[in-house]
Structure 1
Amino acid sequence: MTTTWTLSGFGDEIDPDPVVQVAVLQALGARHLEVRSAWGTNVVEFDDDQLSRLKTVLIEREMGVSAIASPIGKVEVAAPIENELARLDAAIKAAQTLDAGFIRIFSFYRAEGVAVEAIRDQVIDHLGALADRADRAGLVLVHENEKHIYGDIPARVHDVITAVDSPALRVAWDNANFVQCGVRPYTDGFELLHPYVAYLQVKDARAADGQVVPAGQGDGELAETVAGLRDHGFAGFASLEPHLTHAGQLGGFSGPAAFGTAARAFAHLAETQGVNLR
């Protein structure tokens, strides 16, 4: 069984300059970009001039945008939701300007000493409000599983998606992040979550130390995940987020050479599983 997925990547993992981001991605066979930042500025903080400049770069180079990689939800859940709704409005404006259908979000931190169960209802309320606003704009929020947020492990990701129960909230699956939470991604989470996966973020990690590595070189069960998504009809974006040089709370960096290493590793893995990348 074979299928075709659309390759994308976090351009700011290559270089702050979107011209360089696009050039490297296109050299690696990608015709889409995931926008997290450009010129050192996060996408939800772009002014009108920056947004216009980025749109021009993309149009001139015939580059599409797979998603707006926002930091929405990477704050304590006790913070006013109005702040995150305002950042969502900025992300929606960017998505509509750049013709992207997805906006990446997260499901909030908790204060030190607070049990994860204690923030559940507030998380669901906040995500419901965000999903309602995205739905009205005709966009889909994709929740990325990440350590220390509410939706870090498969059971809580499933809780988030099913409790909010909105077509405007789906899963951005990240194998490496699951590994860093002590999860075997495919073994522990695939059957539960695959019906809700709308977006694949590509990186791998070692279970022993959490170190991020190229696809197929860690314990993220990426081959099994790719095969499982293939068999269940996934035909969306696979977005490279290598984190091979630096990884931090608000993003990572690889540089052109390491990004190329990550892209070639994933292309090989995808080919072995009957997935064509375009």
Structure 2
Amino acid sequence: MSSAQKPTWILSGFGDEIDPDPKIQAAVMLSLGASHIEVRSAWGVNVVELDDAQVAELKSVLDASGLKVSAVASPIGKVDISLPAAHEVGRLRRIIEVTKALDARYIRMFSYFRAADQSPEDIRDAVMERMTLLAAEAEKAGVILIHENEKDIYGDTPERVLDLLETVNSPALRAAWDNANFVQVGVKPFTDAYAMLRPYLDYLQVKDAIAGSGEVVPTGQGDGQLVETLTALSEDGYTGFASLEPHLAAQHELGGFSGPAAFGEAARAFRSATDAIGITLA
């Protein structure tokens, strides 16, 4: 394949996995050859809690670096289903303001946790009601929600992700694909999920994991079938974002952390895999 035929993907990453300071986040992302950054928190403050002055300062830092924002990695839907529907609608309205201020279009989100005595089927109707309301808000605002297949939410298996996307049936709700998260719920991502969910896949989050332990590892070191997934995406014309979310040092309720060195290790492992397949990262 000649370089002219190589697909080009847009490299991004979760800046707060590098450092709380956006200036350090930006410097490391640029050193890794990225053109974009995914914003989950800045100065240790989650995006949903940033005030207008902080958002303006963050935009100024990113503008000075030349980085653009691939997505706002919100915590919308990463709450218990028992909360009233209006709770997340209100938070989404704030996230939409932040997203527009950062000149972004995508908002990462989730499909609700349940109580220990509830099954996914028990909460399905409530999830669909809430996700439909959220998608309507996004559609009205001209932004796109990308649902991440996080462990222990309603949409953590391929079948339930598909159920969610088909039922809500909104152009403002698409899939953010995470191989490692599928591994952590016993799914073989490429074998079990790729063909089913590819029509909805708008955004790639890059991390790998080991089956059994669930430990998150760099690309190609786990059971996430990343090479198969990346190859298939390349062959069927994917040209979107590839956002590094390594989770190599710590994982917690609202995300994870890697530090600059481990983040760089994850970026190099991913670039090695994409180079081998013939994908250009820009």
Place the TM-score, normalised by the shorter chain, in its bin: over 0.9
Q: Deviations over 1:65-87 (max 9, x none)?
A: 00000000011112012111111
Q: Deviations over 1:193-250 (max 9, x none)?
A: 0010000000000002110000111000001111111122110000000000001121
- Aligned residue number for residue 121 of structure 1: 125
Q: Deviations over 1:17-73 (max 9, x none)?
A: 000000000000001010000001000111011001001101111110000000000
User: By how many angstroms is 1:267 displaced?
Assistant: 0.3
User: By how many angstroms is 1:121 displaced?
Assistant: 1.1
TM-score by length of structure 1 reads: 0.99
Q: Which one of the candidate residues 25, 30, 42 is aligned to 1:38?
A: 42
- Aligned residue number for residue 71 of structure 1: 75
- Aligned residue number for residue 99 of structure 2: 95
Stretch of structure 1 that moved more, 176-185 or 265-274 = 265-274
User: By how many angstroms is 1:94 displaced?
Assistant: 1.0
Gaps of 5+ in 2: none
User: By how many angstroms is 1:90 displaced?
Assistant: 1.3
* Structure 1: distance between partners of 2:188 and 2:264: 26
1:232 correspondence with 2:236: yes
Equivalent pairs, count: 278
* Structure 2: distance between partners of 1:78 and 1:105: 17
Q: Which one of the candidate residues 248, 265, 268 is aligned to 1:261?
A: 265
1:132 correspondence with 2:130: no
Q: Amino acid of the residue matched to residue 70 of structure 2?
A: S
* Structure 1: distance between partners of 2:9 and 2:263: 19
Q: Deviations over 1:169-199 (max 9, x none)?
A: 0000000000000000000000100010000
User: By how many angstroms is 1:115 displaced?
Assistant: 1.3
1:202 correspondence with 2:203: no
- Aligned residue number for residue 181 of structure 1: 185
Q: Which one of the candidate residues 170, 177, 200 is aligned to 2:174?
A: 170
- Aligned residue number for residue 20 of structure 1: 24
1:191 correspondence with 2:195: yes
SS where residue 147 of structure 1 aligns?
coil
User: By how many angstroms is 1:139 displaced?
Assistant: 0.4
SS where residue 211 of structure 2 aligns?
coil
TM-score by length of structure 2 reads: 0.97
Q: Which one of the candidate residues 137, 155, 159 is aligned to 2:159?
A: 155
* Structure 2: distance between partners of 1:134 and 1:161: 14
Stretch of structure 1 that moved more, 3-12 or 226-235 = 226-235
Identity %: 58
SS where residue 71 of structure 2 aligns?
strand
What is the root-mean-square deviation in Å for CA atoms of aligned residues? Answer: 0.7
Q: Amino acid of the residue matched to residue 190 of structure 1?
A: Y
SS where residue 8 of structure 1 aligns?
strand
Q: Amino acid of the residue matched to residue 217 of structure 2?
A: V
SS where residue 83 of structure 1 aligns?
helix
- Aligned residue number for residue 213 of structure 1: 217
* Structure 1: distance between partners of 2:218 and 2:94: 32
- Aligned residue number for residue 8 of structure 1: 12
